[in-house]
Amino acid sequence: MVIRLLCLLLAALSAHSALRDDVSIRRDTYGIPHILGRTEEAASFGLGYAQAEDHATEIARRLVAARGQAHQSFDGDIENDFRLLRFHNPEAAAAAYRSLSGLYRKIIDAYVAGVNHYVRQHRASLPAWVPEFTGADILAATRAGAVLAAASTAALPTEDGSNAFALHGSRTVSGKPILLGNPHLQWNALYWEAHVTVPGKINFYGSTLPGIPVLRAGFNDRLGWVTTNNAPDLVDVFEFPLDPKRPGHYLFEGKSLPLRSHTVRIGGQERTYHDAHIGPVLRLDRTRVFAVKSAGLDAIRYYEAFYRLAKTKNLAEFRKVLDRNLSPTSNITYADADGYIFYIWNARLPRRPDDGTDYRKPVPGEKKYIWTRFHPVRELPQMMNPRGGYVMNSNDAPWFTNLEDPLDPARFPSYVERGELRMRSQVILRLLRGGERFSLEDIWRLKSTNQVLLADRVKAGLIAATRPHPDLRDAAGVLEQWDNHVNTDSRGAVLFAAFADRYLARTKTPYETPWEPARPIDTPAGIGDPEAALTSLREAVEEVRKAYGSLDVAWGEVHRFRFRGHDLPADGAKGAHGVYRVMGFGEAEDGKRVAGWGPSAAGPLTGSGDAWVLTVEFTQPVRAYSVVAYGQTTNPESPHCCDQIALFARRQLRKAWFTEEEIRANLEREYRP
């Protein structure tokens, strides 16, 4: 047995040596790894190694957490561990890994081998709890998000989201399509750029997150895509009656079925959970059992979809990959060198009876409601080369992706995402509609607009409401002089933001005119609750005066980008205020609102929203620009920790070097793992 294990170890080391010899990592002057492999497995090994160089501990946190071992390993969230073990995450991932074959298994095995190679090399400098990983850990991390969604079906929406749009060549100066991607997550999500090349196989530049073995958005020399969060209903809770004659059983279609139980022990705590035949039990009372079924739990090859998309060369190939229905969520916005732009509200959407049932509530545990099939991708909302020459999405439902050629919700099941067009989407739609042609440089100007659409809609009514109230005269004067933007030098924005937060939270009727589908980019508007508005403004005045001494303090004096060696004025604000450059800030000890590191990169990264921005023009060769606000690495000793924040603060991008000539001209170092 010992000899057999030794032989296996030697075989693995020999395989790793071959992968190391077949890959080269070329870091450019911003630290972006351009990974050149002789094989796809070697390139994936290099990707794993390079990612670990920049974020080893963060990769470990995420993969260990997906095992349900965060609490015992690094004092992580014990409740999260219980949720993952309640849903059998490690076991399900291990079973799925055993069933994998072909290229994707080779890709994730090689990625993990690259990470493990780095861990072995740097064992002494890494936390003791950092283990080595397996391909099953990647699948566990893939499944973990679906577990948390299924376990928390009443989770509230957050500011996490994204912006994306694509312009047809008829709307660009060059006549070639242009793509913009701008995802919004908590900054501690840590977007990370890379470029993977295997001659004749793949040549893709884009971004991903630590612990993910593929690039999730970006471009090759023929096409590109970006994603924005959508909200497909992938989870249903089914209600079954308990069998009054048999304890521990429930009734389904006239049959008595047993509840299976399992016990989870973590950190001295012990909890017993139950499973029904369709999935885990969320709640059990004296007469009923509520069990959950999620389309996401089985979408374990989610990241394989991104890898296959990166290898496609045209829209037909791209759509063929989508047709495999590997990806459970996300809007996809696409452009290519052949002149196509494309949008799809993508989802692994269960096919349900569209009979008026409210699937947001528990559904009767009857066979007709317990879905077993999914809508084919061709049945999902989508559009290609629409009138007006643009598609866009900023996390709203798909119906107003294009104002000239809107999608009709009546053509789709009622359980496809609905909802109004929020102000952040309205901002960019107002800029894109019409016939103006844009250059690639213009796209960053559009992306960087700091207009506060909420102020355009309610400020006049708010000022009018203050006129009978002398105590609000100064506040009204400051707001009247404000330019309705959140640029660094905007005065009045701090006061308005404090007002808006209170007002929107205080009243259920904030607008005099609610949003109307017939006027999608002109509504809502007006002050709907004057008394709540006046109370909110008084509170805002008190807060701003107390904190900053002046009602007209500049936005950038209060809001800061703080990193090692940098303390810069910040712009951007909440998407809920109708701002396209979404930024969220944490409160610092000195009362400032801050996005960035603490005193050192060893502390937590605060902030949210804008972080990775990509613009691509499909000329030949492709032209692309990008920025990662917090830099390429969390390693405080690296020159690339925080080296892009000055660009980001100035609302500038850097060239995304893609051709071999560009890479060689901007090479910092080249090495093998």
Q: Which of 290, 164, 321, 303 is nearest to 227 (CA)?
A: 164
Give me the sign of the Cα torsion angle 533, 535, 539, 544: positive
In Å, what is the CA distance from 372 to each residue of 149, 349, 350?
19, 11, 7
pLDDT tens readout for residues 81-137: 999 999 999 999 999 999 998 999 999 999 999 999 999 999 999 999 999 999 999
Q: pLDDT tens-digit profile of 55-81?
A: 999 999 999 999 999 999 999 999 999
pLDDT at 101 (0 to 100): 85
Alpha-carbon distance of 335 to 571, in angstroms, equals 29
Q: Residue 274 pairs with which residues in a beta bridge?
A: 261
Q: Please state which of the four CATH numbers 3.40.190.80, 1.10.1400.10, 1.10.600.10, 1.10.760.10 is assigned to the domain occupying 453-557.
A: 1.10.1400.10
Structure confidence at residue 17 as a pLDDT band (50, 70, 90): confident
What mean pLDDT is predicted for residues 329-334?
98
For 232-247, write each residue's pLDDT tens digit: 999 999 999 999 999 9
Q: What is the pLDDT of residues 353-389, one digit of tens each?
A: 999 999 999 999 999 999 999 999 999 999 999 999 9
Residue-by-residue DSSP string for 64-80: HHHTT-HHHHHS--HHH
Q: Which of 480, 482, 503 is nearest to 492 (CA)?
A: 482
Query: 44-53 b/e with 16+ CB inside 10 Å = b?
Result: bbbbbbbbbb
- Cα(23)–Cα(45) distance, integer angstroms: 8
As a CATH number, domain 235-294 is 2.30.120.10
Contact at 8 Å (CB) between 192 and 55? yes
Q: Which among 24, 21, 22, 41 has a CA at the least distance from the CA of 33?
A: 24
d(CA 180, CA 569): 25
For residue 212, the SS3 value is coil
Q: Indicate if the pLDDT at residue 257 is higher than 60.
A: yes
Please give the model's pTM, rounded to 2 decimal places.
0.95
Q: What are phi and psi of 334, to 5 degrees?
A: -135, 150
* Domain 18-151: CATH architecture, name and number where available: Orthogonal Bundle (1.10)
Q: Give residues with Cβ within 8 angstroms of 505, minimum separation 6.
A: none
Cα-flanking dihedrals φ and ψ of residue 271, to 5°? -135, 140
The burial class, CB within 10 Å (0-12 / 13-18 / 19+), for 368 is exposed
CA 613 centroid distance within chain:
13
Confidence of residue 598 (pLDDT cuts 50, 70, 90): low
Q: What are 122-126's contacts with CB under 8 Å, separation 24+?
A: 122/56, 126/56, 126/57, 126/60
Question: Domain coordinates of the chain in residue numbers?
Answer: 18-151, 235-294, 453-557
Tell me the CA distances in angstroms from 314 to 97, 334, 343, one per residue in order. Answer: 30, 11, 14
Partnered with residue 527 across adjacent β-strands are 511
664: pLDDT strictly greater than 80: yes
Q: Is 1 exposed, middle or buried (0-12, 13-18, 19+ CB in 10 A)?
A: exposed
Q: What average pLDDT is seen over the chain?
A: 95
Over residues 160-213, the pLDDT tens digits come to: 569 999 999 999 999 999 999 999 999 999 999 999 999 999 999 999 999 999
